[in-house]
Amino acid sequence: MNNLRLRYPGLRPFDAEEQQSFFGRDKEIESVCRILDIDKLTILHGPSGMGKSSLINAGILPALKAIRQWEIPYHVVPIRFTNYDPELARIKRERQGLQTEEVQLIKDPIDRFVEACLGDASHWETIIPMPKPNLWLSAKKMGIDLGIRPLRIVFILDQFEELFSYPEERVEEFAQQLGELFHQNLPESVRKGLERKQIIEAEQEEKALQLPHPKEAQLMARIEEPLDVKILISMRSDKLHYLERLKSFLPEMMLNSYELRSFDTKQAKKAITEPASLSGDDFLSPNFTINEELLDEIIEFLQDKITQRIDPSQLQIVCQHIERRMIQREKKIMKKLNRKKGKSNNPISN
């Protein structure tokens, strides 16, 4: 019962478990997947509320898992950026009596990337002595750990505009490392780490040296092999100018882009009617039908008078309101039925 969900998520994005109720974006899913197959770096952009995160979570990610036409196996790593807010983190710590700040509000973008690749316990420092891992080494180690060769890694960086809420030095460091990953340049920090490793091993006595773990041995043997990496960056259209700050590290940044637009009438009708008709026990509401008259009224209410297009976020708000009304109606009906059933089983009332 606790796993039941609404058919229409409202203002929050669809998640991967809601792909069955995600409709109206078939063309966009196909287009972005085709672009990813062709290009190494793509910018997915659109106004706030267009459903970029929903498209990624419930559309692109499931589609990429289902695709089998690509020449080599691939692994998708979604990473969602959040706003840097140390003051809010401090307030939450004080209110909740926590010992440390809310980490997600201040987590370094590089740490977020590394965690998405390797998890919390990566043990990278046992392989190459470095102050902290970087994007290139994390992607390289993840490829080795997966044990698939050859392998294409697709990084999907959602809400990328939030990167620029961090201090300038962190933004620049991330941009530099993203450029190294994209251009497949062995980072200077990794090169120095390898030199340090050689010095340490040379100083150790021969008996003290142990055979490396097979995965570590593979990493060291293939350390300079290029990675097959593709990057999809998703961000708001009104923040695209921020990307100018990354061009010195990634001159290719704006060569390929895809704009996510609002729904046309056909897409909107599908997004309204299809989730309502889904059967099954996964939803809080019973399945229901939206008749043509009501559907036309909803479209007319939501439609932009100039462009004749429909904002997806507004559509979700209206549809969720209708669904909640259906849930209330179902509860009233069940309550009446239970009351009648109770009376029929009561010998005194009979």
142 or 99, higher pLDDT: 142
Please state the rounded mean pLDDT for residues 326-346: 76
pLDDT of residue 133: 76
| C-alpha R_g of the chain | 26
Burial of residue 186, with CB atoms counted within 10 A of its CB: 0-12 exposed, 13-18 middle, 19 or more buried: middle
Assign 204 a pLDDT band (cuts: 50, 70, 90): low
Cα(335)–Cα(328) distance, integer angstroms: 11
Q: What confidence tier does 35 reach under pLDDT thresholds 50, 70, 90?
A: very high
Question: What is the rounded average pLDDT of the residues 272-298?
Answer: 93
Summarize the confidence of residues 5-14 as an average pLDDT: 95
Domains of the chain: 25-259 (3.40.50.300), 265-344 (no CATH)
Distance of CA 39 to the CA centre of its chain: 19
Q: Compare 141 and 70 and report the one with higher pLDDT.
A: 141
List the one residue out of 259, 261, 252 whose CA is nearest residue 231.
252
Give the confidence band of 349 by pLDDT, cuts at 50, 70, 90: very low
pLDDT > 60? residue 328: yes
pLDDT band at 348 (very low <50, low <70, confident <90, very high): very low
Q: Are 22 and 54 in contact (CB under 8 A)?
A: yes
| Per-residue confidence (pLDDT) for residue 350, from 0 to 100 | 41
- 321 has pLDDT over 70: yes
Greater pLDDT, 333 or 41: 41
What pLDDT score does 330 carry? 86
Report the mean per-residue pLDDT for the chain: 84
pLDDT in tens, 186-197: 887 777 777 776
Whole-model pTM: value is 0.84
Predicted pLDDT at 100: 53
- Between CA 142 and CA 150 the distance in angstroms is 13
Q: What is the mean pLDDT of residues 66-76?
A: 75
Residue 98, pLDDT above cutoff 60: no
**Tokens standing for residue 124:** 């990278």
Q: How confident is the model at residue 95 (pLDDT cuts 50, 70, 90)?
A: low
Q: Quick one: what percent of the chain has pLDDT higher than 70?
A: 79
HEC sequence for the chain: CCCCECCCCCCCCCCHHHHHHCCCCHHHHHHHHHHHHHCCEEEEEECCCCCHHHHHHHHHHHHHHHCCCCCCCEEEEEEECCCCCHHHHHHHHHHHCCCCCCHHHHCCHHHHHHHHHHCCCCCHHHCCCCCCCCHHHHHHHHHHHHCCCCCEEEEEEECHHHHHHCCHHHHHHHHHHHHHHHHCCCCHHHHHHHHHHHHHHHHCCHHHCCCCCHHHHHHHHCCCCCCEEEEEEEEEHHHHHHHHHHCCCCCCCCCCEEECCCECHHHHHHHHHHHHHCCCCCECCCCCCCCHHHHHHHHHHHECCCCCCECHHHHHHHHHHHHHHHHHHHHHHHHHHHHHHHHHCCCCCC
Query: Residue 26: is its pLDDT beyond 90?
Result: yes
